[in-house]
Chain A
Amino acid sequence: DVKVTQSSRYLVKRTGEKVFLECVQDMDHENMFWYRQDPGLGLRLIYFSYDVKMKEKGDIPEGYSVSREKKERFSLILESASTNQTSMYLCASSSHLGEQVSYEQYFGPGTRLTVT
């Protein structure tokens, strides 16, 4: 079974702090994603990576950065946390089949971040 783990289930940080959210997958997936989930807004893509050291902006990248130094690990960084970044953060991974992109994303349990 695919396993996607996230470093914390709950996190409380103060405004202005630098925050690291870590995600690890154990299935050798090429693609990894970071979403935030807010009530009434669904899931919105922050950043994704389709290879080591490769990254692309999603729909809401402002205030975030990412790092992918190893294939299994994808980190989300809040350089200076703000209260409007209080949210549930979900990590996901997927693989590809030859030249065709895969279709199923496997999700981690989520990190509920509160910025005070």
Chain B
Amino acid sequence: AQTVTQSQPEMSVQEAETVTLSCTYDTSENNYYLFWYKQPPSRQMILVIRQEAYKQQNATENRFSVNFQKAAKSFSLKISDSQLGDTAMYFCAFMKHGVYNTGTASKLTFGTGTRLQVTL
């Protein structure tokens, strides 16, 4: 079974600053995906960024980037130039890479989340 750990329940950052959210995971799988999801207050969860484990290059999406360390099983999210709209719960998640009709291959395992507050 996979586990995902987010050790920072809450974080705060000033607008325009950079913040890094930590995530570690445990798995015996070699092929998998990692995700960061964002859940703004009273709004729907949306995907921020994803990383395929077989890719060595770290994923980036505009102001969001990851530091993927496969050997260390670490997957941190860096938010640059933080904006007030980045205030949200952030969840790290793990998914095995597999074949559709096995059913279990599409499951996500989530961490407990980090509540990020961006302040003026």
- Contact residues of A with B, CB < 8 Å? 4, 30-31, 33, 35, 40-45, 48, 50, 54, 56, 58, 90, 92, 94, 96, 99-105, 107-110
B110 touches A31 (CB 8 A): no
Interface presence of B16 (CB below 8 A): no
Count of inter-chain pairs, beta carbons less than 8 A: 69
A101 touches B100 (CB 8 A): yes
B107 touches A30 (CB 8 A): no
Task: Identify 12 new A-B residue pairs, CB closer than 8 A, beyond the known A42-B91, A45-B107.
Answer: A31-B106, A35-B110, A43-B108, A44-B110, A45-B108, A45-B109, A48-B103, A56-B103, A58-B107, A99-B99, A100-B100, A102-B106
A104 touches B106 (CB 8 A): no
What is the size, in residues, of chain B's interface with A at 8 Å between Cβ atoms?
30
From A42, A94, A103, B110 is in contact (CB under 8 Å) with A42
Question: Nearest-CB distance from B45 to chain A (Å)?
Answer: 4
Chain A residue contacts of B100, Cβ below 8 A:
30, 50, 96, 99-101
B112 touches A105 (CB 8 A): no
B106 touches A96 (CB 8 A): yes
Q: In the complex the two chains form, what is the Cα distance from A96 to B102 in whole Å?
A: 12
B110 touches A43 (CB 8 A): yes
Nearest chain-B residue to A54 (Cβ)? B103
Question: Nearest-CB distance from B101 to chain A (Å)?
Answer: 7
Question: Nearest-CB distance from A90 to chain B (Å)?
Answer: 7
B106 touches A48 (CB 8 A): yes
Q: In the complex the two chains form, what is the Cα distance from A69 to B63 in whole Å?
A: 42
Chain A residue contacts of B35, Cβ below 8 A:
103-104
Chain A residue contacts of B37, Cβ below 8 A:
107
A41 touches B106 (CB 8 A): no
B95 touches A103 (CB 8 A): yes
Question: Nearest-CB distance from A27 to chain B (Å)?
Answer: 14
Nearest chain-A residue to B92 (Cβ)? A42
Nearest chain-B residue to A4 (Cβ)? B44
Q: In the complex the two chains form, what is the Cα distance from A30 to B47 in whole Å?
A: 19
Chain B residue contacts of A35, Cβ below 8 A:
110
Chain B residue contacts of A42, Cβ below 8 A:
4, 6, 91, 110-113
Given known A42-B111, A104-B47, contact A94–B99 (CB-CB < 8 A): no
